[in-house]
Amino acid sequence: MKKLTVLMDAQCGFCWRCRGWLSRQNPFVELEFLSRESKEARRCFAALGEADAGDELIVVGDAGAVYRGPDAFIIYLWALREYRELSLILASPAFRPLARKAFEIVSKRRGVLSRGLGWLGGGADQILEECRELPPDEVECSSDGCGRRI
């Protein structure tokens, strides 16, 4: 395998933050990122169909192998020099349930993470603007800053 294509949700701040992190890593294989909604993704991966375009993370190998959800997470860790050993551990029968559960927890909350936490979503100005639009009982402020209650 020489290349992996990560099909991402281009509307998700958490997904963009993950893409940025992945782009800064030292890969064993080339990583390409495509918006699932893009014309290129629909043209190149038409066989995946609209039914597969939901919230699931999808990674496609250059030979056509399709990895979904936790398997996609494990395969893109496998593609990175510093994380290949971890990916092999997570893929083992002993740790696979843990990897699946951790992925599901984060995946189900990625929208909240994108909107509510500055380090995952947009910049400070964007978060401040969003906070101003929220009802007071949905905003929690402390000496560390303000944010949306999760």
From first to last of its 150 residues, the chain has per-residue pLDDT tens of: 999 999 888 777 777 778 888 888 999 999 988 888 788 887 888 777 654 545 678 899 999 899 988 899 899 899 999 999 999 999 999 999 988 888 888 777 776 666 655 444 444 445 445 455 555 555 555 444 444 443
| Domain-wise residue ranges, the chain | 3-108, 110-148
Would you state the structure tokens that stand for residue 18, as one six-digit string?
A: 């993950």
Instruction: For tokens 């958490």, name the residue.
Output: 14
Residue 103 CB neighbours (<10 A): 18
Contact 57, 72 (CB under 8 A): yes
- Name the phi and psi angles at 68, rounded to 5: -125, 150
Indicate the pTM of the whole model.
0.68
- CATH architecture of structural domain 3-108: 3-Layer(aba) Sandwich (3.40)
- Alpha carbon of 126 to those of 114, 121, 133: distances in Å? 11, 9, 11
Rounded distance between C-alpha atoms, residue 73 and residue 101, angstroms: 12
Burial 12-49 (b: 16+ CB within 10 A, else e): bbbbbbbbeebeeeebeeebebbebeeeebbeebeebe
What is the number of helices (H) and of strands (E) in the chain?
7, 6
